[in-house]
Structure 1
Amino acid sequence: MIGDILKKTRSIYGYKAKDMSIKLDISPSYLSEIETNKKRPSLDILERYAEIFNMKVSTLILLSEDHDEAIKTNKPQEFIKRMMIKLIDVMSKDEVKSNGKNS
């Protein structure tokens, strides 16, 4: 579910729940409900998450789908592999952009 990915991504980025709720302009209790999959985030909230994490909303959704599939098939290592491939792809694109600006 998307709440799992949002919570894990928040943790990876080093945000505490209270800080994230402030950045998202929502209450800490609502953030908790989203991250525990009790409530689904609106598109507006997903857009705010994406902005904070500097990624596209579609990326968050795809990560969630990949995560759900890994849980269903009991293959978390496949999820991690796909995440690493995506991370490397994004980082290599950023590197190309960065090198192009400095030329």
Structure 2
Amino acid sequence: MRQENMYDRALKTIRQYHRLSQSDLAKQINISRSYLNEIEHKKKEPSLAVLKKYADRFELPISSLMLFAEQESNKNFNKARIFFADKVLKMLEWVADGENNESKKTSATTTHTD
């Protein structure tokens, strides 16, 4: 049985938090936009080299991204990891969504008053 993998969600959330399009990020980390899209939509898993590019681009330790990796050897650890990873992602998604909504409000206000 395949364990849950949260790379897609984590990498997409990081990209969105930094307000980057798939095209912009793909150019910055030197991968194709279609490959990035496939990662974000669970069609492909990122290689370690791609994770390193993300880590370098966003100045994160690669170990932070590895939190979202599959772990099949210890099922109890795996359940805890999945629970923790899901909570971290929900918090990041909430923050990113709040910032995006705030940016839209500011943009609408600026457009309205001009």
Q: Does TM-score exceed 0.5, indicating one fold?
A: yes
Please name the residue that 2:103 is paired with: none
- Structure 2: runs of 5+ lacking an equivalent: 1-5, 70-79, 93-114
TM-score normalised per structure 1: 0.63
SS at match of 1:22: helix
Higher helix content, 1 or 2: 1
Query: Which structure carries more relative contact order (alpha carbon 8 Å, separation 6+)?
Result: 2
RMSD: 2.8
Identity of aligned residues (%): 34
TM-score (norm 2): 0.57
Q: How does 1:1-103 map to 2 (within 5 A)?
A: 1-62=6-67, 64=68, 68-69=82-83, 79-80=87-88
The secondary structure found in structure 2 opposite 1:31 is: helix
Deviating beyond 3 angstroms after TM superposition, the runs of 4 or more aligned structure 1 residues are: 65-68, 80-84
Unaligned runs of 5+ residues in structure 1 are: 85-103
Bigger Rg, which one: 2
On the 8 A contact 2:9/2:89 being kept in 1, the answer is: no
Match of 2:20, SS?
A: coil
Instruction: Count the aligned residue pairs.
Output: 77
